[in-house]
Structure 1
Amino acid sequence: MIVLVNPNLVVQRNDPFTTGIVYMPIGLAYTAAVLREKGLPLKVIDAFAENPYQTERKASFLILGLKSEEVIARLPQNTVAVWIYGINLTSHIATLNLVSTIKLAYPKIPVIVLENTQAVTAYSLSDVADAFFAAGADACLTGESELRAVELAQLCLSGEWGRVSEIHLDGLCLPNKKNVATGYVGDLDLLPYPAWDLFPIENYWNLCFSHGPLSARRYLPLLTSRGCPYTCRFCVAPQTNHQRWRPRSAQNIVLEMERAAKTYGVYEFHIEDLNPTVSEARIRELCHLIIQRQLKVAWKIAAGTKIETIKNLDTLDLMAAAGCRYISISPESGSSRVLRLMGKFFDFEHAVRAVRRMNKLGISSQACFVLGFPGEENGDREQTLKMVREMTREGVDEIALFIITPVPGSAIFSEFSGYGSLSELNFTPSWRKDYQKLNRFRVRLYLLFLIWKLRWHPKKLFQQPFRFLRKCFHTKMEMVPYRAMVFKRLDNRAARR
């Protein structure tokens, strides 16, 4: 039997606001679905969601979920391989711990780490494979695991793992041999839908918070496309996707929505694509289908999109009519000089028009910015402040301010030093020498945003406490304090033990 493991959630204890974001492991759910479709025996262990309120302090981190010995106890006697999902960078210490403890308990069972290629919070395993090998991992599988899962599983199930170094499997990294991932899933519509029935999804729902703003009792993430065609230097996607963007058809997406509604009673969907609106025509077709089929769904672009790809503002009208309730965009910086350093283009005037339109349509909007990019100066941050002020005036509902951190696989990874564990590479990198200065600016800008919002959109600001109390969140800024409150309570409980 192949055992798929989702690692524990990791929270940096001094910042429960920007760390500890809960992502349902959609990539692992796709891999499980592919294995099951081929009739291969498997079991899923979600080390976080099977006991999400169990906590353990580990230095500056809080580890949520099953203890290592509980994961080991859940391994069936007929386990032939354990595949651990490298879901994101912050969870690295938990992933590493699972590798070492499972390998110590079962030294003859292959332990393999799977790469997450469809999240900006993930990391390139080929860049950090040696750390996993040192912990006892037998291999790292890079690239889209669905494309390689069946062949890898058959190798493990046949008892032929000892011959793995003689076999060329695209994307499989071994201690003495690294095969570069070059292949991609050709037609995403041919993949089976994620096998959520194998995961404790009720436990995710009971948390009452998620990555996107959660307004309903139940939700599911969607991947409507894969990859991103852009080359932002702070992002891992150019390394893991090589600027290839591939869409699912609108028909296939709608069928998944209908299936989720019928099977799980889910009518809220959080789109977790790297860049879902690259094809405006596809988005319009998706909206038309949702309207034609009279699907009463809400969907939110939670992970962000490049707003310039929505060229026609009437597309936003269509999206609102089809149930779109939230769109996150990423200006990143108000400084054109810093944007050039990042390798990113941003059309500010178009974004302002789009935010103004979303405000009128009732689509909640988020604008994300990064601080401390290499080469950024004080004057550049003041330009960001001015941009935030203008977007707030036009109706942007929330902002997110991240202090840049080097992601393994990104173009700027080698430009930083001073961190310990890779789990410290989050959006609150307190190890940076300039962290205090950057964080003071971040706090100042958040306060200014609230003052500006009170001035220009007081009704929106006054609504937020009521949504907080009802746990019906329209924005992440409404939801994150609730999440931080939960983590603080769990941290205090762990301290008393």
Structure 2
Amino acid sequence: MSKEIKKVLLFIPPAFTFKDSPDVNPLPPLGLGYLGAVLENAGIEVKIVDCLLEGWNNRVDVADNIIRAGLPFDRIEEIIRNYVPDIVGVNNLFTKQRENAHQIYAVAKKVDKGIITVAGGAHPTVMPELVLADENVDYVVLGEGDDTIIDLVGVIEGKKDLAALDGVGYKENGQIKIIPKTKFIQDLDRLPFPARHLLNMEGYFGLKHSHGTRKKKRFSPIITSRGCPAKCTFCSAYKVWGRKFRQRSPENVIAEMKEMKEKYDIEEIMFEDDNTTLNVQRAEKLFDLMIAEKLNFVWDTPNGVAAYAINENLIDKMKQSGCYQLNLALESGNQEVLDNIIKKPLKLEKAKQLIKYARKIGLEVDIFLIIGMPGETKEQIWDSFHLAEELEIYHPFISIATPYPGSEIYDICREEKYIPEQFSLDDLFIRSFSISTPDWTGEELKDILKQGQRYLRVSFLKKHPLRFIADSFRFMISSPGKFLRRALIFVLGRWNLND
């Protein structure tokens, strides 16, 4: 039975986080912005609600040290009733947050059984059967949905046949059907710019933390490419964006930047794609145009850049165009781990030279590390802390290897029984320590992390006592609770200044 689609309501759901140290914060959802733009171009009315932003100060205890942040579900129900949508879509990025997404599907069906519910995002992409097992979910969109959502609307309206769909899960006579994702958009320039007018941009402005600490009040993310050819074993992003690197032209990106400046007075941008600088020639042209057009943004890359694909000339252009911090996804301080376990095409010696040069020209530098990979020894884990100390980066961003569905390490952990039999999808977060191998247990890994962090703080104090004091004072003023916990660990921990 066909149904005319006039109005679509898209949600970012509330989120679970830690009560004592929240690890989520609102970020303008460009994915939904793109969907909103293509739907509007098709003549469909769209509303986007970021439940995390709109209910940011609403915190509800749900378990020991776990809270739900965001709009309460009775308010979400009220929004759905008042808007009277034909489709309700939810962007569910993380498996651990799936319950909040499914609550919205249930609320939508409670309001009106005729509302069509659509699940999108990383979690439904890698686990579509699990999501469709919920009676309140009608469709799943796998991977990028800009073209798919339009085709799906055509099918729902009876204007297109199911054969037109690519990357969609649905139900037929009670049976779950999955049409695999085989097509990715090659010409990204043909897409409209994200519909930021559908986002509460003023609500984001002024947030101190939005995918990192922001330098300016008026900020916005931007995405200049999709897809990643690297085959890092901990990553499942390729399931969403594909392996092939696809890029927007520098001119197209500049046009969006100008719109951001003119319509929203944006002062800071965050390049959210994983591979902004993968094509060095394109990146150089983009940064040259940013300089020539005098856009005067400050910017960084919260997801990091690939150290294997940049050089000193490019770093110069990054700095000149407004970059204030070079974030490098090094992942490990051990070359063997990078080559044979993580499988990242990166040489640490090159990375060290790039960091040295970036500091020379006045850029701040940070690194991303991941510890606890299956096959990694305790000694190799410590090499990552030693690398950070050598580079004098005393607060690197350290993730714990987590077996996300869709990643190679998920398959390894299941095959080798590195995750417990009682393993739950609720254990999928970067501080879960859910993996245990013949080399170490999850509890031992937790202890190594604490020891490694103490080692870096003591090294910082020994090498740069005045900077350590100044850094600690700033941290105490900005985050007194976290400062107290860190200070207690530092004072009471088992460390030796002579180690």
TM-score normalised by structure 1 residue count: 0.85
Of the three residues 113, 122, 133, the one matched with 2:119 is 113
Aligned position for 1:62: 67
Asked if 1:442 corresponds to 2:449, the answer is yes
Report deviation, 1:424: 2.9
The gaps in structure 2 that reach 5 residues or longer are: 1-6, 487-499
CA contact (8 A) 1:307 1:351 kept: yes
Contact 2:92 2:98 in 1 (8 A): yes
Aligned twin of 1:9: 15
Instruction: Quickly say closer, same or farther: Cα 1:33–1:74, change in 2 above 3 A.
Output: same
Partner of 2:166: 170
Amino acid in the other structure paired with 2:74: E
Alignment of 1:412-427 (within 5 A): 412-414=409-411, 415-416=413-414, 417-418=419-420, 422-427=425-430
Paired residues for 1:201-220 under 5 Å? 201-220=201-220
Report which stretch shifted further, 432-441 or 412-421: 412-421
Counterpart secondary structure, 1:42: strand
Structural mapping, 1:252-291, within 5 Å: 252-291=252-291
Shifted more, 86-95 versus 272-281: the winner is: 86-95
Cα deviation 1:407-457 (Å, max 9, x = unaligned)? 121112232534665343111115556333212221222222233334445
1:12-411 matches, cutoff 5 A: 12-13=18-19, 15-16=21-22, 19-60=23-64, 61-75=66-80, 76=82, 78-115=84-121, 122-123=122-123, 125-134=125-134, 136-156=136-156, 158=157, 160=158, 166-175=162-171, 176-310=176-310, 312-339=311-338, 340-392=340-392, 396=393, 398-411=395-408
CA contact (8 A) 1:15 1:428 kept: no
Does the Cα contact within 8 Å between 2:151 and 2:164 map onto a contact in 1?
Answer: no
How big is each residue's C-alpha offset from its partner over 1:250-295, in whole Å with a ceiling of 9 and x where there is no partner?
1222222221111111110011112211111111111111111122
Count, aligned residues: 462
Tell whether the 8 Å contact from 2:388 to 2:394 is kept in structure 1 after alignment.
no
Sort the Cα spacing of 1:253 and 1:397 in 2 relative to 1 into closer, same or farther, 3 A: farther
The change in CA–CA distance for 1:455 and 1:290 in structure 2 (over 3 A counts) is farther
CA contact under 8 A between 1:331 and 1:368: conserved in structure 2? Answer: yes
Q: 1:237 and 1:256 mapped to 2: Cα distance?
A: 24
Contact 2:127 2:405 (8 Å CA) reproduced? yes
Q: How far does residue 74 in structure 1 lie from its aligned partner after superposition?
A: 0.6
Percent identity, aligned pairs only, is: 24
**Paired AA for residue 408 in structure 2:** A
Distance 1:463 1:323 in 2: 26
Rounded Cα–Cα distance in structure 2 between residues aligned with 1:338 and 1:78: 53
> Judging changes above 3 Å, is the alpha-carbon distance between structure 1 residues 123 and 481 closer, same or farther for their aligned structure 2 residues?
farther
My pick for the range that moved more, 282-291 or 38-47, is 38-47
Aligned-pair Cα RMSD in Å: 2.7
Secondary structure at 1:303 match in 2: coil
Supply the AA of the counterpart residue of 2:49.
I
Contact 1:51–1:65 (CA under 8 A) maintained in structure 2: yes
CA distance in 1, matches of 2:18, 2:435: 15
**Secondary structure of the corresponding residue to residue 134 of structure 1:** coil
SS of corresponding position for 2:314: helix
Alpha carbons 1:89, 1:123 under 8 Å: kept: yes
SS in 2 for 1:324: coil
Change beyond 3 A, Cα 1:430–1:373: closer
Specify whether residues 180 and 460 from structure 1 end up closer, same or farther in structure 2 by C-alpha distance, changes over 3 A only. farther
Superimposed CA distance per residue, residues 67-111 of structure 1 (whole angstroms, 9 cap, x where no aligned partner): 122112111454211111123344222112222332344322211
Contact 1:9 1:22 in 2 (8 A): no
- Runs of 4+ with deviation above 6 angstroms: none
The Cα of 1:227 is off from its aligned counterpart by 1.0
One-letter amino acid matched to 1:306: A
- CA 1:460/1:27 → structure 2, altered by over 3 Å: closer, same or farther? farther
SS in structure 2 opposite 1:140? strand
**Segment of structure 1 superposing worse, 336-345 or 266-275:** 336-345
Structure 2 distance, partners of 1:315, 1:244, is 23
2:218 and 2:265 in contact (8 A); partners too: yes
Long gaps (5+) in structure 1: 116-121, 472-477, 486-497
Specify the structure having the higher radius of gyration (Cα). 2
Cα distance in structure 1, aligned partners of 2:145 and 2:351: 35
Alpha-carbon distance change, 309 to 253 in structure 1, aligned in 2, over 3 angstroms: same
Q: CA–CA distance in 2 between the matches of 1:286 and 1:334? A: 31
CA drift at 1:245: 0.7
Conservation of the 8 A alpha-carbon contact between 2:128 and 2:169: no
Cα distance in 1 between the residues matched to 2:210 and 2:242: 28
Amino acid corresponding to residue 451 of structure 2 in structure 1: R
Tell me the residue number matched to 2:431: 428
Matched-pair contact (CA < 8 Å) for 1:304–1:329: yes
